[in-house]
Amino acid sequence: RCAVCHESQQNNTPSRAAISYRGPDSVVRTLTDGLMQPMAVGLSAEQIQSLAVLLTGREPLGPVDHMANACPKDASPVHVSANDWSSVSGDLRNSRYRDHSSVTAEDIGRLQVKWAFAYPGGASGMAAMAGGRLFLATGTGFIMSLDADSGCTHWAYDNKGALTRRVSVAAIKPGSERAGVFFGDANGRVAALDAQTGELLWRTEVEVHVL
């Protein structure tokens, strides 16, 4: 039931090789809560777990509490500044370069790890940084906001198994001080979250994913 599309890579369907790079928990989530749920009808939980192992070569970790390291309640608004790295590209020109950095080549050898974070289900893409927070997508279909100083979790938004590669942070409209987290997902939708709270602001379908 999987090979019909994934072995021949029809339309937007990822190849089996592409799926192998995903985490096993991502495969399980896609089959149980995500886009491939209709294709998994009739499969037991054990069969879905076995399929994830077959495709990725790794055992799923199982359910994860995305708020296990929750930050103390913080009502501070998120403001995006010119010095933030608010998208993967760094700017609208996709330069991925910072003209004015406080880190020099001489500083590299003195850098040390301040804290570490284990992506639930593996990393889906690179993180964006704005307003003293990191915003990232996980392999389990969650968008998360971490505190840049301590690594604690401000919020975690469940995108219902739909994978997101990367996120961008910007004002929700020109001139507004309210920031939003914008992303597209594997279900052909674009959405925006409130950067401070993780609340869904809007979602729209931009492409019908052909199965």
Which is more confident, 80 or 210? 80
- Per-residue confidence (pLDDT) for residue 7, from 0 to 100: 82
- Average pLDDT, rounded, for the chain: 87
Q: Where are the beta strands (DSSP E) in 34-127?
A: none
- Per-residue confidence (pLDDT) for residue 209, from 0 to 100: 59
Q: Which long-range contacts (CB under 8 A, 24 or more apart) does 51-59 make?
A: 51/2, 51/27, 52/24, 52/25, 52/27, 52/28, 53/24, 55/16, 55/19, 55/20, 55/22, 55/24, 55/27, 56/19, 56/20, 56/22, 56/23, 56/24, 56/27, 57/20, 58/23, 58/24, 59/24
* Cβ(71)–Cβ(154) below 8 Å: yes
Q: Which pLDDT band holds residue 211 (cuts at 50, 70, 90)?
A: very low
- Per-residue confidence (pLDDT) for residue 210, from 0 to 100: 52
Q: What is the pLDDT of residues 137-172, one digit of tens each?
A: 998 889 999 999 999 999 999 998 777 888 999 999
- Per-residue confidence (pLDDT) for residue 182, from 0 to 100: 96
pLDDT over 90, % of the chain: 44
CB contact set of 39 (below 8 Å; sequence gap of 6+): 1, 2, 31, 211
Residue 21 CA: distances (Å) to CA of 42, 53, 104: 26, 12, 34
Q: What is the pLDDT of residues 11-38, one digit of tens each?
A: 677 888 888 877 888 888 888 887 788 8
pTM comes to: 0.80
